Amino acid sequence: GASKMRHLLALRDAIYSERFRKLVGDVMGCDDLTEKVDCSANAYTHGCHLLCHDDVIGTRRISYIIYLTDPDCEWTAEDGGALELYPLEGDKNAQQGVPVPSPTNNLLPRFNSMALFRVQPGKSYHSVQEVYAKDKPRLSISGWFHGPTPPEGADGASLKQIMTMGDDARPFERFSNGSVDSETAGTTPSLSAEDMCELKKYVNPTYLTTEAMTQICEQFCSDSSIQLHGFIHDAIAAPLMNKMFAVDEIDKVGNGHCPPSYQVGLHPPSSWKVVGPPHKRRHLVYECTNDAGDGEIGDNCENVHGQLGQGLATLREKLFRSAAFARYCEKITTLRPTGYKDTIRRFRPGLDYTVAHYSGMTKVSRLDATLCFVDSREDGGNEEEEKEETKGKGRGEIKQQIGKAALWDSGDAGGFECYIAADDDEDAEAAAVYKSMGEESDDEGDQLLSVSPAANVLSLVMRNENIMRFVKYVSATAPSSRFDISAEFEFAVEEDDEEG
C-alpha cells in the first residue's frame, strides 16, 4: 500500500505544494496558477505512443513531465519514446494554428529530468514517439497546473479543430471512357464485352464470373461491406508487391526497425509527398507528374519509389477511374457510382496514421473502395496453428510467435481502417472524445467496422451519414508499410429511395 509508495507520494506532495507551484509559475511566466494540479504515473512500454495534440482541455495552463526511466540504462534515440515538438506552418499568430507535418525537435526521457511547456490552444503541439525499446519502459510522472479560466483562444485548440465540421473541397470527378448511366432507370447495367475486356486486364477473373458477382452482391447487400482478397490478378499485383518490398528495404522501415527519419520515402526525384496536419493525419501521397502508362508498372522512372507510385497511378487511372469499373461496382453493390475522389497513400511503419475528425465525416452516403497492399508473406508454418498458439499469451509474446498476416489481423501492428459513428454530444468528456478519434481502438464497442490490412485486398464499404473513419497508426513492428488506393464514390439515389 502507501508504505511501498512513500517516495512517489512524497513527490506528488511536493508537486502539489504552493512553493513548487510558485516556482513553476515564475519560470513559465504564469502568475495566476490555482491550487488545482493533476498528477498521474505513466508507463509507456514497447509500441506505446501518443499522437500529435496541444493538451488544451478545460483550464490546463502548464504541462509537466518528470522522467523516471532506469538511471543505470541510459535512454538513446534508438529506444524511441521522445517528447516531440511541432512548430506552426505559415501565420504563427493565427487563432487556429496548424502544425507542420513532422516534429522539428525532441526530448529524450532521461532519468530525473523534467519537461515543462505552456499549454497554448493551437500552438503547443507535441506527441510521444513510439517506444522502440523492448526491455525498458518509459516511466514518468506527468500532469498539468491549472489557471482560473480556460486559456485565451481555446476555440482554436486541436480538440476543437478535430470536432469542427467541414468538407473535402475536392470535387467529384467523372468516370472515363463513357457514361455509367443505365439505359433504363432503376435497372442494373449489364457488363458489355468491352467492359469485361477492360476489367480482365487488371481484375482476378475469379471475381468476374456471373456466379461470383451474384454472391458478392448478396453479401454486400446483407452486410454493407465486403473484402475481396486477391482482387488484382498476379501479373499486375506481383510486380507492384515486389517494388513495395524493395521500397521498405531501401528505407529500412518495418519489422521493428526504428525509422531513420521523418523524411523516409521522400527521396528526390520522388513524387511522394508528406501530408498533414499531424493532429488529423500524417502519411505520404503520390502526386503524378506524368501521365499513367498503358498498363506498365512504371519502370521508366529513375528510382523504385517512383516506379511503385507510377504503377499504382496506372492501376488507379486504368481501373478505378473507368466507367467499366463503375458499372462493375454497381453490379456487385447495386449502388451506381457517378463520380469519384481518390488518393494513393503510403503509411510508413513508426510514423503514419489518420485520425477520425468531423471534417471528414460523411454528410451524404458514399461508397468507399480501398485497394490495400501490405507484406503478409508467411515464412512457412500453418496460420491456424499460429493463431491457436497465441491463446493466453501476452501482446509482446504474440508478436514474436505469429506470422505477418496474423500480426496484421491481430491489430497489434496497426494499419487497420476503422469506421466509427460521430458523437452528437460536443460536450462529451475529452478523454472519451480522444478515444473515439482513434488514439485508442481496443474497445470494440466504439467501432462499427474494422478492416484489417492485407495484401491485394479490395474493401468496399457503404458509409452512411455521420460516419468517420481512420487508419490506425502503423507501428514500427509492422511487417511493412501500408500502401493503398483509397477511393470515395458518390452514387445515384433513385427517387423512390429518397422518398422512403
Q: What angle do CA 158, 99, 418 make, to 5 degrees?
A: 60
Residue 360's pLDDT is 72
d(CA 223, CA 487): 20
DSSP single-letter state for residue 207: G
Contact 293, 146 (CB under 8 A): no
Residue 357's pLDDT is 79
The SS3 assignment for 205 reads helix
Residue 171's pLDDT is 86
Residue 428's pLDDT is 42
In sequence order, which residues have a C-beta less than 8 Å from that of residue 1 and are 6 or more positions away?
Answer: none
Residue 122's pLDDT is 92
Residue 172's pLDDT is 87
What residue has cell string 477473373?
205
Residue 267's pLDDT is 73
Residue 2's pLDDT is 66
- The whole-number mean pLDDT for each consecutive block of 10 residues of the chain, a chain of 500 residues, reads 79 95 95 94 96 95 96 94 93 71 95 96 95 94 96 84 65 76 56 95 97 97 97 96 96 93 84 93 86 48 87 96 95 94 97 86 90 85 43 42 84 95 55 43 65 97 92 97 97 59
Compute CA distances 498 → 161, 182, 186, 189, 224, whole Å: 32, 19, 13, 21, 18
Strands 40-44 and 366-373, how do they pair? Answer: unpaired
C-alpha neighbours within 13 Å on the C-beta side of residue 157: 20
